[in-house]
Amino acid sequence: MDHFKTNGKKGILYVVSTPIGNLQDITLRALQILKEVDLIAAEDTRHTLLLLRHFDIRVPMTSFFEGNELKKREFILSRLNQGERIALVSDAGTPGISDPGYRLIRLAIENEIAVIPIPGPSAAITALSVSGLSTDAFFFKGFLPNKPKKRRDFLKKLEEVKETLIFYESPHRLNETLKDIFEVLGDREMALTRELTKMYEEVRRGKVSEIRNQIGENKLKGEITLVVSGKTRKKIGEMGG
């Protein structure tokens, strides 16, 4: 177990990153922590159980997700106050990124409980790293709004953003979202990544219009991350209002 100075008899909350697909991407340190903590707080215990079984980890779990977080975070906090060491994990990737885990992390900090990161995979950073787009600065949203008007309104607010844009998207909304990106932000360079680190991993790069034409009416499956170039300066002599 990692050794850290704790506040008196209080425990430690470990924020443990887990694979986004390929189980071999888990770190040795993450495995050590998961084996030695007192409890694992998992977004979906059934999903995390597959990971634990694969690595023969037999530690008690409790669920912690959007629907039960208010009740469960008090339970988890009480265990931490009793000196226990708890690992927070999401279904995949880094906890607290587009999931309610950040509220538990904030609660632990407010109660002077040590919060220790166990870094590892993140779908957003993984997609950005292979996109071929600028990585100096980026804007990460997570999932765009479900409803078309709200989605377009939100994209409109990003029209002048120069940083690379990163979004998560579900397969059944993908075609509509690409259409909105094209109509609101223009025909920018982008990368569409799907099922990263998994058997059917796919990365499509090109203009938004090219990606839309490639997909057509096909319904892609799996976890999708979109990386879109930020607004670029007009070249000298280029017309524009």
In a domain, 1, yes or no: no
Residues 86 and 140 in one domain: no
Residues 79 and 128 in one domain: no
Contact between 54 and 34 under an 8 Å Cβ cutoff? The reply is: no
Residues 102 and 134 in one domain: no
Q: Which long-range contacts (CB under 8 A, 24 or more apart) does 231-239 make?
A: 231/159, 231/160, 231/161, 231/162, 231/185, 232/162
Residues 26 and 95 in one domain: yes
User: Which residue, of 97, 118, 139, is where some domain finishes?
Assistant: 118
CA 129/CA 137 separation, integer angstroms: 12
In a domain, 7, yes or no: no
User: Which residue, of 118, 152, 180, is where some domain finishes?
Assistant: 118
Q: What is the pLDDT of residue 7?
A: 53
User: Which residue, of 80, 95, 118, is where some domain finishes?
Assistant: 118
pLDDT tens for 16-55 read 999 999 999 999 999 999 999 999 999 999 999 999 999 9
> What is the domain extent for residue 66?
12-118
In a domain, 233, yes or no: no
CA 161/CA 141 separation, integer angstroms: 13
In a domain, 142, yes or no: yes
Contact between 104 and 88 under an 8 Å Cβ cutoff? The reply is: yes
In a domain, 147, yes or no: yes
**What stretches in the chain show pLDDT beneath 50?**
235-241
Domain containing 81 — which CATH number?
3.40.1010.10
Token look-up 């634990």 returns 52
β-sheet with 12-16: strand ranges across = 61-63, 39-42, 85-89, 12-16, 114-118
Q: What is the pLDDT of residue 70?
A: 77
Residues 87 and 32 in one domain: yes
Residues 151 and 211 in one domain: yes
Residues 88 and 33 in one domain: yes
Q: What is the pLDDT of residue 98?
A: 81
Q: What is the pLDDT of residue 217?
A: 79
Residues 193 and 107 in one domain: no
What interhelical angle do 101-110 and 69-81 show, nearest 10? 40
Number of domains within the chain:
2
